[in-house]
Chain A
Amino acid sequence: MSETTPQPKATTSKSAQPVKAASKDKSAAAASGTGADTKGKSAKDLKKEKRAAAVAARSGDAGAGQSQGGETSGAGQKDKGARDGQGKGSGSSAKQAGKGTSSTSASAPTAGNATANLRLQTQNQLFSHLPTYKLPDSAEALISGKIHPIIIRYGILIASGQIRGVNARTIGLMAAFKEVIKGFSCPPEELHRLLPAHLSPMIAFLDQCRPKGVAGGNAIRHLKSEINRIGTDKRITEEAEQKDLILNAIDEFVRDRIELADEVICTTAVEKIKPGDTIVTFARSSLVERVLLEAWASMQEEDASNKFNVVVVDSRPLCEGKQLLSVLTSHGIPTTYTILSSLASILPRTSLVLLGTAALLSDGALYSRAGTAVLAMLAKESKIPVVACCETYKFGDKIVLDAVTGNELGDASMLAVGKDANLSPVHLLYDLTPPNLVTAVCTEVGLIPPSSVPTVITKGDAAGL
């Protein structure tokens, strides 16, 4: 590889040479001065010099040899004469340039190393922008003294996947913050400044454990605004009263935005399930699970012979569908279990696809467990309605164009094939279902099309939700 690839590079570097060489000349001239001159050399110049050296090394690598070096330095001189008006003693600087090339050609092996590194980078550049999955450093967090032990505990639980699902995570987060706030004490008039400052290292720590996502972000934003509202309220003077109000606000958030919302969503979604239907769902969503159980209960209440079927579609490596499967089967719901790749044989007899969501972005795109998009796409192809269940606190105003840009990496060791430099198993946790693949979103404000998400967000802001 190292024999073949420098060829095109050499040609590009040749064309880039004059300008680079000229810039190097400048710095070389500066270097030829006294030691005091080097102090005056800016960081920019240093960078330029390094780049020029790398270019020269590469051209030396291509086997052009001394003659090419002479040529380029000559070209550099010409170029300098043409452009560099403030050149001092072009002859000496050209000599310097010649020296420069000979010294950098000696460092050719390091350049070879650099190309190897470059290759490693290109291999990972697809997903390198995503935070790598790792368990948090709980010991360091404890020692720092800034992070409440219950936050550390919660952080480990979400990082290891023992608390999974956005609702569970948000409820856990709010419960943990309640404990923190209970133990926090400060003068009442300082609360709106000190409490957020007390919480922010904890929020940062939790972000290291797992990105908080749209829903977590909304919850934290709500908490902060409540703290600010209560802290700045002049009528509340007692610390205990302030804390009570904040704790109440947290409880209210969990009750209204998650628990009650789920109840409303359930009653709406249950109406869409008719006897004899086959409902397909992907992986596990606590909300979908609840919808299915309630639909089953109400259908059985009406008439014990009324039944519907559920197909749980699952995928490696998390296999969350098994949990849902065990719950559904324990309630006696006839359930089929399959993996994503066998989907094509199930869809012809499907009447509804019911999906859970991690977030709903402002363009109506569904950010959900990886694989959801595949199911939604195939369902759309087969003309099967796709309904996503989503509480409005999961609505986010950010826009993500594709699932590679903003995503989360899971534990890649679940896919591991042993250690190999070139090989990187990648475990993306989420994918993005474009809004055109989703028929309707079932929320606590009703069954809405995905395009109505921004409306709900702005209305919600206006209503102070």
Chain B
Amino acid sequence: MSTPDVAIGPEIQKLVDPFVLKLKRHQIEGDREIALAVAQLLMRVISAARWSDPHDLIDLIRKTGKVIIGARSKEIITGNIIRRVLALIRDEIETDNSESTPMMSSMFSLLSTNLNKKLAVSQVSKKQNSDLRSIIIHGIRDLVDEISAVNENLETMAWDLIHDNEILLTPTPSSDTVLEFLIKARAKRTFTVLVTENYPNDIKKAHKFVKALVDNKIDTILVPDSTTFAVMSRVGKVIVGSKSVFANGGCMSNSGVANVVECAKEHKTPVFAVAGLYKLSPLYPFSRNDLIEVGNSGQVLNYDDFKLVDNVELVSNQLDDYIPPENIDIYITNIGGFAPSFIYRIVLDNYKTEDNNLE
């Protein structure tokens, strides 16, 4: 499949390089912003690229994708968008393909080899390059629309899940999806939200989050991270924002969330994770330590405390947490609510397995 002769041309390099730098310097922050930026970049790459065979385009996107993912290897979202776009292209090629060759009965297709299929692909696709380009770009536009409208689509679920006078707890004050979700729910329900501080990385965001909730007339109580176990007996539901969701149903979230969901499990409190469809990843998490990004330890133990810093062995400050699927009861996405065990199906609907590994 991968033909080495397709290299990233200078015209593509020109587009990709500044983006990679921006990503490396954390100049693009926020999951949605990153997702949109990647989608827009790929749109420009596809319009700038020249190809004769659609499979060359796939190769080009795979190569570009590798570069983008390499810029921030712990960011799952970039990979998701790239794979979504690849799936889009493959779908187009397939529909072209199926138009020309009659669909075979399902049982027979299991047994047939795809040798003659491939021949057909190259025959058809040649004449429709410009068509294909516009169709793909249109597809990416749809993807961009989907990503930007994620929060609106989540709202309808809010009323079904929250009842009046309920006490909710959210350990992810940095998630604007959770914020929108709660504000939408407030239109019809009155409830109390406990917000954890998420010291030290998100403490400012937590304060902003609390302010935003209060401005929307939601009763909000800010609690330190350490009291989650103590207050859990009063909490009706835990709402978690996720950074990305893996095919096994586990997800990445802010640091400290793993503790909170563990407390919830201990108290048998239901845990809801909200996630846009674009956060679902076809990857599986194998080692927890590989997934976690480590942040500035000066925020945990200030460097001004030089006497302490001098003698201490290690100061750790992780930026995110991996949450195993058994600690989450349901995922709320913009296309509906799903059990963690069902996530792999939705992933299969949106991605092509051949793109899981871009190497």
| A interface, CB within 8 angstroms of B | 1, 5, 119, 122-123, 126-127, 309, 315-317, 322, 325-326, 329-330, 334-346, 369-371, 373-374, 377-378, 381, 402-404, 407, 415, 417, 420, 422-428, 430-433
Once the chains bind, are B227 and A431 in contact (CB under 8 Å)? yes
Smallest CB separation, B283 vs chain A (Å):
20
Once the chains bind, are B229 and A415 in contact (CB under 8 Å)? no
6 contacts between A and B (CB under 8 A): A123-B221, A315-B199, A370-B226, A373-B229, A403-B229, A422-B214
Once the chains bind, are B300 and A404 in contact (CB under 8 Å)? no
| Whole-angstrom CA separation of A423 from B220 in the bound complex | 5
Contact of A317 among B198, B224, B234 (CB under 8 A): B224
**In the complex, B197 has a CB within 8 A of chain A:** yes
Give the most central of B220, B230, B255: most A CB within 10 Å: B230
Contact of A417 among B207, B266, B292 (CB under 8 A): B207
With A325-B301, A371-B226, A404-B234 known, 4 other A-B pairs at CB within 8 A are A315-B224, A335-B311, A342-B300, A404-B233
The interface size bin for chain B is 35 or more
**In the complex, B25 has a CB within 8 A of chain A:** no
Interface digits, B85-108 against A, CB 8 Å rule (1 contact, 0 not)?
A: 000000000000000000000000
Once the chains bind, are A425 and B230 in contact (CB under 8 Å)? no
Smallest CB separation, B195 vs chain A (Å):
10
State whether A426 and B222 are in contact (beta carbons under 8 Å apart), knowing that A341-B318, A370-B227, A377-B266 are contacts in the complex: yes
Once the chains bind, are A422 and B218 in contact (CB under 8 Å)? yes
Summed over the interface, the residue pairs from A and B with CB atoms below 8 Å come to a total of: 180
Once the chains bind, are A123 and B192 in contact (CB under 8 Å)? yes
Once the chains bind, are A344 and B227 in contact (CB under 8 Å)? no
| Whole-angstrom CA separation of A404 from B167 in the bound complex | 14
| Whole-angstrom CA separation of A316 from B224 in the bound complex | 7
| Whole-angstrom CA separation of A428 from B223 in the bound complex | 8
| Whole-angstrom CA separation of A5 from B189 in the bound complex | 10
State whether A316 and B199 are in contact (beta carbons under 8 Å apart), knowing that A330-B311, A425-B222, A426-B222 are contacts in the complex: yes
- A344 surroundings in chain B (CB, below 8 A): 258-259, 288, 318, 321-322
| Whole-angstrom CA separation of A370 from B230 in the bound complex | 7
Smallest CB separation, A11 vs chain B (Å):
14
- B217 surroundings in chain A (CB, below 8 A): 1, 422
State whether A423 and B224 are in contact (beta carbons under 8 Å apart), knowing that A344-B321, A377-B263, A378-B262 are contacts in the complex: no
Once the chains bind, are A339 and B214 in contact (CB under 8 Å)? no
Once the chains bind, are B207 and A339 in contact (CB under 8 Å)? no
Contact of B214 among A127, A369, A404, A423 (CB under 8 A): A423
Q: Which of B175-221 contact A (CB under 8 A)?
A: 190, 192, 197-200, 207, 210-211, 214, 217-221
- A381 surroundings in chain B (CB, below 8 A): 262
Interface digits, B57-76 against A, CB 8 Å rule (1 contact, 0 not)?
A: 00000000000000000000
Smallest CB separation, A333 vs chain B (Å):
9
Once the chains bind, are A335 and B312 in contact (CB under 8 Å)? yes
Once the chains bind, are A341 and B259 in contact (CB under 8 Å)? yes
- B315 surroundings in chain A (CB, below 8 A): 336-338
**In the complex, B228 has a CB within 8 A of chain A:** yes
- B322 surroundings in chain A (CB, below 8 A): 344
Once the chains bind, are A325 and B262 in contact (CB under 8 Å)? no
Once the chains bind, are A122 and B225 in contact (CB under 8 Å)? no
Once the chains bind, are B259 and A340 in contact (CB under 8 Å)? yes
Smallest CB separation, B74 vs chain A (Å):
14
Listed from nearest, the 5 A-B pairs whose CB atoms lie closest are A341-B256, A371-B226, A329-B311, A403-B230, A431-B230
**In the complex, B130 has a CB within 8 A of chain A:** no
- B258 surroundings in chain A (CB, below 8 A): 344
**In the complex, B269 has a CB within 8 A of chain A:** no
- A330 surroundings in chain B (CB, below 8 A): 311
Smallest CB separation, A325 vs chain B (Å):
6
| Whole-angstrom CA separation of A381 from B326 in the bound complex | 13
Smallest CB separation, B211 vs chain A (Å):
7
